[in-house]
Amino acid sequence: MKIRGIIPAMVTPLNENGINEEGTRKLVRHLIAGGVHGLFILGTNGEFHTLSKEEKIQFAKIVVDEVSGRVPVFAGAGDIATNKVIELVNEFAKIGVDAASIITPYLLKYTDEELIHHYRVIAEQTTLPIILYNIPPNTRNFINRHVFSELLKIDSIIGIKDSSGDLENFKGYLELNHREDFSLLMGSDSKILEALQLGADGSVASTANVVTKTDVSIYEQFVAGNIEQARQAQVSIDDFREACKCSTIPSGLKYCLRAIGQDVGLPKLPVLDLTKEEKQQVDQVLQKYVQAEGFTLKVEQ
């Protein structure tokens, strides 16, 4: 499987009872209508760390059903314990998820050999393709060149999402990769175009939840050879990205989605909703995208 294009790091719509099924289906339809090339669910922006195993399975089932094969679905199965990852990956395989994204273990600082063994055991005991997820600022663990080169030897590991924010690190992955079936995905929205120019296959982008068409245009304009248009789209999403940085993930994204009519609810505690002042600041930025994205804003008090 070769993964290409813009893939939203989809938020998880919630309500007072847990997973909001209708809100989830509506958001899936919105994203597919925006031209995305896949969906990345149950990642950091999807609040995977706050959801139970049962909620993750329920959410994945709803997404896969609503997508109905139109785009691939990549589901986060990361956990601290290797056995828990294996259990969830195998559940996702039954549902029809296309690949499992597996963040490095977190909380403790692990050795290179422990990280390699973690992924090797998962690959041996599961059947789904695996996407590595490198986000060292959040996990304290880093898929360095040695770890990456060892994991490249495992056929079922088919890609990596790099959210390190370090282009030199991403270049290192590109230099080491010798497999045509392996996909390198940028996980830092501010560096999508730069990564594509270096040879990336696409991006898992949180901003694509909201400014979907703008994100997609970065990739499509780049592929078409229209680099200036791609650059303009990149600059445009940078403004939106900065506006969302006023809050803890995914509070800003969830507010923006509610503001454009998506029923995604609030983030799970301890993450709080935006303040009134923060909402007003974000509203001003959202106004810039009304025409390009075709949405109508609903202001919250």
Using DSSP, state whether 240 is helix, strand or coil: helix
Could you give the residue numbers annotated as active site? 133, 161
How far apart CA 117 and CA 232 sit, in angstroms, is 43
Residue 235 is labelled as binding a ligand: no
How far apart CA 49 and CA 51 sit, in angstroms, is 6
**Cβ(20)–Cβ(269) under 8 Å?**
no
The b-or-e profile of 285-297 (16+ CB within 10 A means b, else e) is bbeebeeebebee
What's the number of CA atoms in the CB half-sphere (13 Å) around residue 195? Answer: 34
**Cβ(195)–Cβ(203) under 8 Å?**
yes
- Where is the binding site for pyruvate, in residues? 204
Q: Residues forming the annotated binding site? A: 204
